[in-house]
Amino acid sequence: MRAESAFCLPTAERVKLSRCTTYGLGGEAEIYYPDNLCKAKLIFDKLNENGRAFVLGNGSDVLASDGKIKEPIICTKKLRGIVRVAEDKIFCLAGTSVGALLAYCKRRNLGGLEYLVNIPATIGGIAYMNGGAGGKYISDNVLSVKVYNGNIVTLDNKDCNYTYKHSTMRDINAIILSILLKVYPSTRQEIEERLSAYSARRAHLPTGRSCGCVFKNPQGDYAARLIEMAGMKGQSCGGAYVSPVHANFIISDGGSAEDVCKLIELVREAVWRKFGVLLENEVVLLGDFEACKS
């Protein structure tokens, strides 16, 4: 038997996306799981010869359609690793989970990322979406992001053009390979206090299968407020419902991805009719949805 070398490309696994997304929804797809940067680049090149590959992190902001997914997928979850490169800088591979990153920082008395606590994501997904909580965003910590788009390119923080839920990486066809983050030496007690405080702020969030907030907040307002005022809080469609706890969460309760998508469109329409505000998706749709065609 041949040992797998850095240059032996993994083959695609046929996996149901319901196993790879926090919604627990989505049909079968061909997914590649590179476990080092060299393989990630080679797979990215190979898949992009015939179109555009989809990069999946932890699937916590992806609604995947029910049928077979045509796009080939590169999942970063095996691209894990963290190295402290200076007193106040850590390098991490894109597929490193937020939980692993925070545990690493806590063990080494490094603070500054506690606001990410309990976000079920990879750091690559967070860097792509400019994720954050409690008024803090990863753009506050990113020093640079290394991407591969056929060439390796290092984007400094300013090149990432971070704004609310947006980054340069969203506008280009590239895979984020790694991120260099600024952290702050702190005492264990300070870190624990901040982790507890940020966790407590999330205690009110709905439970159940979701993608977190479905819509971006429009400028100067909250999507949840508009959805509630439009009478959509608690509304349902098949096995999906707008959370009665937080109206920007749509929970899937054993239905289909199409149910969730239909409900997204119903909510968008209700808010548009009532306020003339067109809510933009925060959630990323993958595959084909009937509800998006009408």
Ligand X SMILES: Cc1cc2nc3c(=O)[nH]c(=O)nc-3n(C[C@H](O)[C@H](O)[C@H](O)COP(=O)(O)OP(=O)(O)OC[C@H]3O[C@@H](n4cnc5c(N)ncnc54)[C@H](O)[C@@H]3O)c2cc1C
For ligand X, the binding residues (CB under 6 A) are 22, 54-62, 76, 94, 119-122, 124-126, 128-129, 131-133, 169, 175-176, 210-212, 284
Strand order in the sheet with 240-242: 236-237, 240-242, 250-252
Which residue, 111 or 124, is less far from ligand X as judged by CB?
Answer: 124
Give min distance, CB of 293 to ligand X, in A.
Answer: 21
Give min distance, CB of 154 to ligand X, in A.
Answer: 14
Which residue, 52 or 188, is less far from ligand X as judged by CB?
Answer: 52
Give min distance, CB of 121 to ligand X, in A.
Answer: 3
d(Cα 263, Cα 126) in Å, to the nearest integer? Answer: 25
Give min distance, CB of 2 to ligand X, in A.
Answer: 29
Give min distance, CB of 132 to ligand X, in A.
Answer: 5
Give min distance, CB of 140 to ligand X, in A.
Answer: 13
Which residue, 120 or 272, is less far from ligand X as judged by CB?
Answer: 120
Which residue, 111 or 131, is less far from ligand X as judged by CB?
Answer: 131
d(Cα 290, Cα 294) in Å, to the nearest integer? Answer: 7
Place of tokens 């400094």: 156
Strand order in the sheet with 89-93: 82-86, 89-93, 175-182, 142-148, 152-156
d(Cα 162, Cα 145) in Å, to the nearest integer? Answer: 12
d(Cα 240, Cα 219) in Å, to the nearest integer? Answer: 27
d(Cα 66, Cα 17) in Å, to the nearest integer? Answer: 9
d(Cα 247, Cα 229) in Å, to the nearest integer? Answer: 10
Which residue, 32 or 128, is less far from ligand X as judged by CB?
Answer: 128
**Is the separation of the CB atoms in 263 and 255 below 8 Å?**
no
Which residue, 61 or 114, is less far from ligand X as judged by CB?
Answer: 61
